[in-house]
Homo-oligomer: A and B are copies of this chain.
Amino acid sequence: MSEQNFETLMQTAYLQTFPTQLDLITEGDPADFLYVVIEGCVELYARSNSREATMGMVQPVGTFILAAVLKDAVYLMSARTCQKSKILLIPSDNVREAFQADASFTRAIVQELASCYRGVVKEHKNLKLRTAVERLANRLLRYHRDQGANGSLDLPYDKRTLASLLGMTPENLSRAFNTLKPYGVDVDGSFVRLNDTKALETLAKPNPLIDGRDQ
């Protein structure tokens, strides 16, 4: 977008640092701000009945709640920090203003929104087409790839969060790790060693249309 429009937009924004485990937004509330994660990590989650599920994790530099802002609607998800995090808050009105005023900004927003959309579609496919063990196996392979594919990886979140993200209970995540032991998966806290990626891939059957970074 134009330097000038960017400046205008940024002058309306707040850059704030939040402690860990702080609730930023609650589903059902009107979308007052667009959020951009600058540092740290944010968990998107949802509740219904009395169940709770992690919907996604946002890391720098990522936005969340973009669709609600653009539609001037209520949030569909809640969000909380899962580390001390630096976050940019841009008032919704100003986002929509810039969106009307600056065509380049509009196009950038659309690319971001389209990426978010495809992210959720992939997550949905993941959940509908795979068992819990397969989801874990593929997630490990993804982290392994993203962290340099050097035979080991670090789980980026605690296991409880990872379990919910993968659509299972913490107990089941533990058991899923045990199921993967014969496939060369050794776990020590948040450190995971993959001793036989070939075997793991045979089990996981990774699919670029679910696990791919781009696309």
User: Which A residues fall within an 8 A CB radius of B?
Assistant: 27-28, 46-49, 51-53, 55, 66-68, 70-71, 73-74, 76-77, 99-100, 103, 106-107, 109-111, 113-118, 120-125, 127-130, 134, 167, 205, 207, 209-210, 214-215
Contact = CB atoms under 8 A, between A and B. Distances in A.
A123 to B, nearest CB: 6
A48 B210 contact: yes
A92 to B, nearest CB: 13
4 closest A-B pairs by beta carbon, nearest first, are A53-B128, A67-B114, A48-B129, A117-B117
Contact of A76 (B68, B121, B128, B167): B121
Contacts of A67: 114, 117-118, 121
A197 to B, nearest CB: 19
A195 to B, nearest CB: 24
Contacts of A111: 70-71
16 contacts: A48-B125, A48-B130, A49-B129, A52-B129, A53-B125, A55-B121, A68-B118, A70-B111, A71-B114, A74-B215, A76-B121, A76-B125, A106-B106, A117-B117, A120-B120, A124-B124
- Interface on chain A toward B: helix, strand, loop, or mixed SS? helix
Contacts of A27: 209
B205 A121 contact: no
Given A103-B103, A124-B124, A128-B167, 6 more contacts: A46-B209, A55-B125, A76-B118, A110-B110, A113-B117, A123-B124
Q: Which of A53, A67, A107 has the most CB of B within 10 A?
A: A67
Nearest to A211: B48
A100 B120 CA distance: 26
A209 B125 contact: no
Nearest to A116: B117
A128 B54 CA distance: 9
A119 to B, nearest CB: 9
Contacts of A99: 107, 110
